[in-house]
Amino acid sequence: MDNNPFTGDWMAGWQNLQRKMWEDWSEVTQSSWSNSWQQDNPMNFFKDGMSGWQKMFAMPQATPEVMAMRHAMGSMEEFMRMGREVFKMFQNMSEGANLTQDWTAQLDKSIQQAKAMFSQGQDSFQGAMGQWGKLDGMNAMMGNPMMNNPMKAWSDFLNTNPIFANDTMRGMLAGGQASEEAMMRFLSVPGVGFNRERQEKMQEGMRLILEYRKTFEEFQKLMNETSKKALDKLHKKLLEMGAEGKPLQSMRDLYVLWVDCNEEANAATVTTKEYNEINSRMMNALMRVRRNMAENMDSAMGSMNLPTRRELDSAHRQIASLRRRLSALEDALQELKGKDSSAEIHALRDDMEKLGVRRLRDELADLKRQLEESSSAPTLSVVESVGTEATPEKSAIKKTVRIGNAKPAMVAAPANKGE
């Protein structure tokens, strides 16, 4: 097969792929996707197909298999999205002039465009949350969250974990420039009158949210720089492959190469002092927001005579203290019952076991029995000698058995298997 990317029709190929995907998923899901919108957007199967699949097989929400399948669908969606962009890129390139010679310039152009996406409007909170997935062309391949970068993992975590975020907080954080200006105006108003303290608390809360937003944007900026470095690495590796005459053989190879580049860039970033400092500041700022919100919530709950976090904490602290006292009393009681006074006996028994006293007793009994059995034979006598070393395994105990006038025979004792 001719593997030249520029000998076929990429757009026709993409359409062909969409049709095949449509057929496959329709077959699996028993034609439950029979509308033209799905047919035109087969990648939606990976999102929507998940819920259909769960319903069809009555799968629960959070089992390992459902979670893993959800991740697989997500990864597949991004893999396909990458495929779409590669198709598009090759189509564009094959429509250009003198491909075989200009490919380095084309590649350089694509990489630069992708890097530019990380420099434009991406340092804001809205940019971070909203711009992923809106990119196009080669840029989308490089810049979308197909690899679920740390930023996305982090934002997913914030968005799904009620401990860290709720609707109010998300709304305030995603308010945009206008809301930030409104907040600044509000913050500049001095607290007066009957509600002065409440107003100050609200102002403090907003100040903390702005602080968190600022640190989040710093973090985003750092990760954007990391993404640019990953693009540089990809660029360099592709050029090397071209120079060495070792081209990528599959879409999967491209995916793996891209993952490797991102991991390398990420590893270099997360080990820096700058990352540690920004990441910690962001975490600390988030905690201050969260604590402020909890305190306000506590005040509201208290005013309605409902249990507050403060009260629960106090109760839990007392429970822990009572547990400790109870445990200490039980230990003391055990000691009084004499359990621990037998410690020395335990230790001695332990040492005796180690010395193999039980085995010596067995051997002695054995010898006595032999003696008794041989007592009727007038020419037999038994003499025994025991080694003096403490560890029986190291110095096998030797028995000297004398029969009549014969020379003594040395017999090794059996190894002690119980130790």
Partner 1 sequence: MFPFAINPEKAVEELTRFNKKLAAGLKTFTEVGQIESGISAKEAVYREDKVTLYHYTPKVENPHRVPILVVYALVNRPYMADLQEDRSMIKGLLDEGMDVYLVDWGYPDASDRYLTMDDYINVYLKHCVDYIREKHDIYRVNLLGICQGGTFSLCFTALHPDRVRNLVPMVTPVDFHTPDNLLSQWVRNVDVDLLVDTLGNIPGDLLNVTFLSMNPYRLTGQKYLDMVDLLDDKVKLKNFLRMEKWIFDSPDQAGETFRQFAKDFFQKNGLIKGSVKIGERRVDLSNITMPVLNVFATKDHLVPPNASKALKQYVGSSDYHEFAFNGGHIGIYVSGRSQAEVPPTIANWLKERG
Please give the residues from 347 up to 376 whose contact with partner 1 meets the rule CB under 8 A. Answer: 347, 349-350, 353-354
As a whole number of angstroms, the distance between CA 337 and CA 331 comes to: 10
Q: What residues pair up with 410 in beta bridges, in sequence order? A: 400
61 CB contacts (<8 Å, ≥6 apart)? Answer: 54
Among 55, 134, 198, 317, binds partner 1 (CB under 8 A): 317
Among 31, 35, 36, 57, binds partner 1 (CB under 8 A): 57
Contact status: 313 vs partner 1 (CB under 8 A) = yes
Among 33, 38, 53, 129, binds partner 1 (CB under 8 A): 53
DSSP state of 147: G
Residue 9 CA: distances (Å) to CA of 24, 39, 84, 318: 23, 21, 13, 74
Span between the terminal Cα atoms of the chain, in Å: 69
- Applying CB under 8 A, the span of 111-119, 132-140, 174-182, 318-326 interacting with partner 1 comes to 318-326
Residue 367: CB minimum distance to partner 1, A: 24
Beta carbon nearer to partner 1, 316 or 369: 316
Contact status: 280 vs partner 1 (CB under 8 A) = yes
As a whole number of angstroms, the distance between CA 186 and CA 182 comes to: 6
Contact status: 248 vs partner 1 (CB under 8 A) = yes
Contact status: 394 vs partner 1 (CB under 8 A) = no
Q: What angle do CA 269, 275, 281 make, to 5 degrees?
A: 160
As a whole number of angstroms, the distance between CA 339 and CA 350 comes to: 16
Instruction: Retrieve residue 170's tokens.
Output: 């998300």
Residues 119 to 148 in contact with partner 1, rule: CB under 8 A: 146-148
Among 30, 166, 284, 400, binds partner 1 (CB under 8 A): 284
Beta carbon nearer to partner 1, 140 or 180: 140
Beta carbon nearer to partner 1, 101 or 388: 101
Beta carbon nearer to partner 1, 73 or 367: 73
Using alpha carbons, select from 25, 258, 261 the residue that is nearest to residue 140: 258
CB 206, CB 173: distance < 8 Å: no
Contact status: 21 vs partner 1 (CB under 8 A) = yes
Contact status: 276 vs partner 1 (CB under 8 A) = yes
Contact status: 71 vs partner 1 (CB under 8 A) = yes
Residues 164 to 193 in contact with partner 1, rule: CB under 8 A: none
Among 86, 138, 206, 209, binds partner 1 (CB under 8 A): 86
As a whole number of angstroms, the distance between CA 407 and CA 58 comes to: 85
Instruction: Retrieve residue 345's tokens.
Output: 């006996």
